[in-house]
Chain A
Amino acid sequence: MTLDVALTWDRTFAIRNEPKPDFAGGISSLRNSWVNIPPSPFDTVSLPEVGISLQENEVIVSFKTTVEIRSAKWLNQTIEEIVRLMWLPRDWNSDNPRQIEPKSIERILAVLLTILDSDSTPPAVVPTTRGGVQVEWHQNGIDLEIEAFNLSKLEYYFSDSKGEQEGTIEDNPAVLKQFTGCLKTTSRS
């Protein structure tokens, strides 16, 4: 039996907002740092803690993750896309939207760190009118969408050639890993 113990890493992103024409939250610089902390068992079921703080024009994102995820291609790209939503103005669309809540951003990042692997495909990231964040994949005949719109709720939608399912999850988002696993299985077949 292999004991799955991975290093955990503290990761801090600092993303500066310097608005550009036609872009609500331009990201002109991205610096990040890794701090190695002592090895400890990494529990893939519980949600990793993600912290987000807004300091003037800079958003600080910090979390712990495994050494494998540290090299994941989806990580930098997805964090940039998610964090830029924090700079959307309060009235960003015509539907009287709620401002994107930092808690939704923390929640969706924590979910992604839980359910994605180092070789996972980066999701598309879109804001939702109710102040949430939706991540979605459309590949190999599969559609998968996950939306976080407050601290406690996740909504998901999954569809493939066999049918579709949708629902709400309030506790353990690790069950969503079955769906991201399907994306991978299909792409390898």
Chain B
Amino acid sequence: MSAFTNDSTIDDNEIIWRRIHQFQVVDDPNLNRKRPSTAGFDNGRDIPLSVYIASEAQSPQVVMQDGKEKYLVALIVGFVRQLGLGIIRDSSSGGLGHALLIGKKTKGMLNSMAKTATWVAPYVP
């Protein structure tokens, strides 16, 4: 991956946050918990996905105050890279810590993200 599709200065151990709309939360009896639907990560298969690098964003509260969503989940950068996605910083929009996940997202990849994501307090359904 090139620097335009994957910024290697973002460490694999970094946590990223993704806002989840309240209509995109589902009960998953297989996991025995509520989790985001895959639709919460699907903004269009080839369209960069908006996320926040936790260590560079001010706080979950700041990330949430400009969004229309009610919930927040966390993923690890190394995990999304293993799925085949890249990550780049995006200072043009979204505020401090804003970043984009780059690459084509399949339903299988979306499913992995939706099942692995953990809720970030206090934005938990």
Please report A residues at the B interface, Cβ cutoff 8 Å.
24, 85, 88, 91-95, 97, 124, 126-130, 134, 136, 138-143, 145, 147, 155-157, 159, 164, 166
Q: Please give, as numbers and ranges, the residues of chain A lying within 8 Å of B24 by CB-CB distance.
A: 93, 126-127
Q: Is the CB of B30 within 8 A of A166?
A: no
Q: Is the CB of A129 within 8 A of B42?
A: yes
Stretch at the interface among B2-10, B53-61, B80-88, B103-111: B103-111
DSSP class of A's interface residues: helix, strand, loop or mixed?
strand
Q: Which chain A residue has the least Cβ–Cβ distance from B24? A: A126
Q: Is the CB of A129 within 8 A of B44?
A: yes
Separation of A159 and B24 alpha carbons in the complex (Å) = 20
Supposing A129-B43, A141-B30, A143-B30 touch, asked if A94 and B67 sit within 8 A by C-beta, the answer is yes
B38 to chain A, nearest CB (A): 6
Separation of A177 and B106 alpha carbons in the complex (Å) = 22
Q: Which chain B residue has the least Cβ–Cβ distance from A23? A: B22
B62 interface residue per 8 A CB criterion: no
Chain B 29-59 near chain A by CB (<8 Å), digits 1 or 0: 1110000011110111000001000000000
The contact of A126 among B37, B66, B111, by CB within 8 Å, is B37
Q: Please give, as numbers and ranges, the residues of chain A lying within 8 Å of B69 by CB-CB distance.
A: 93-94
B27 interface residue per 8 A CB criterion: yes
Q: Which chain B residue has the least Cβ–Cβ distance from A155? A: B107
The contact of B26 among A88, A126, A141, A159, by CB within 8 Å, is A126
Separation of A138 and B37 alpha carbons in the complex (Å) = 11
Supposing A95-B50, A138-B28 touch, asked if A127 and B68 sit within 8 A by C-beta, the answer is no
Supposing A94-B19, A95-B43, A166-B106 touch, asked if A136 and B111 sit within 8 A by C-beta, the answer is no
B120 to chain A, nearest CB (A): 16
Inter-chain pairs besides A138-B28, A141-B30, A157-B111, 20 sampled, C-beta below 8 Å? A85-B23, A88-B23, A92-B21, A93-B69, A94-B19, A95-B43, A124-B26, A126-B24, A127-B39, A129-B43, A130-B43, A134-B37, A136-B37, A138-B26, A138-B31, A140-B30, A159-B111, A164-B108, A166-B107, A166-B108
The contact of B30 among A94, A97, A139, A164, by CB within 8 Å, is A139
Q: Which chain A residue has the least Cβ–Cβ distance from B49? A: A95
Closest 7 CB pairs of A and B: A157-B107, A166-B107, A95-B43, A124-B26, A138-B28, A94-B67, A126-B37
Separation of A88 and B108 alpha carbons in the complex (Å) = 27
Q: Please give, as numbers and ranges, the residues of chain B lying within 8 Å of A124 by CB-CB distance.
A: 26-27, 37
Separation of A46 and B113 alpha carbons in the complex (Å) = 35
Chain B 72-93 near chain A by CB (<8 Å), digits 1 or 0: 0000000000000000000000
